[in-house]
Amino acid sequence: MKIIDVYRQRRSIRSFVPGAIDTDIWHEILEAGRIAATSRGKQARRFITITDPLAISETVEQAKMQVFLKDCSALVVGCQTSEAASASDVIISMAQMEAVAVSHGLGTLWLGVFDRDVVRRRINLPEGYKEVLMMAFGHPAEPGQQPPKLPLTEVFRENSF
């Protein structure tokens, strides 16, 4: 499958079927995040995976997240290792992880709104680290919807606006 086809299939999934992700597929997803490009090659990002169903459910409830997330297979918290690190390094890694997940028929959802203090405590995030975002991974219960996209000519300009 071409990577552009993976991106065309990608949807924000808001309904998951409980169940673990195959171990080999999960390791491939994590490997995609590990090998992602980083600013100056510093690799100043770390990821905490939450895969225990009870821990996922408690995190969702305590961090005031949407209740449907309790059925996802994993939550991944992407963190900068310092304020000087680039949040874009975390985002690039998460985007690569998402592409691999979608290529295997899994669903994902980017999470930027949650009680950050609760999540920091739950994952024992060290001082100086900063949680950038989270992503839910799992088996989609429904295919999800793709909103209409603007044409290329509206999104991109050449040389100036």
The answer to whether 111 and 136 are in contact (CB under 8 A) is yes
The pLDDT tens digits along the chain (161 residues) read 799 999 999 999 999 999 999 999 999 999 999 999 999 999 999 999 999 999 999 999 999 999 999 999 999 999 999 888 899 999 999 999 999 999 999 999 999 999 999 999 999 999 999 999 999 999 999 988 888 999 999 999 999 99
Domain ranges of the chain: 3-155
Q: How many whole angstroms separate alpha carbon 78 and alpha carbon 46?
A: 6
The answer to whether 29 and 135 are in contact (CB under 8 A) is no
Q: Could you say which architecture CATH assigns to the domain 3-155?
A: 3-Layer(aba) Sandwich (3.40)
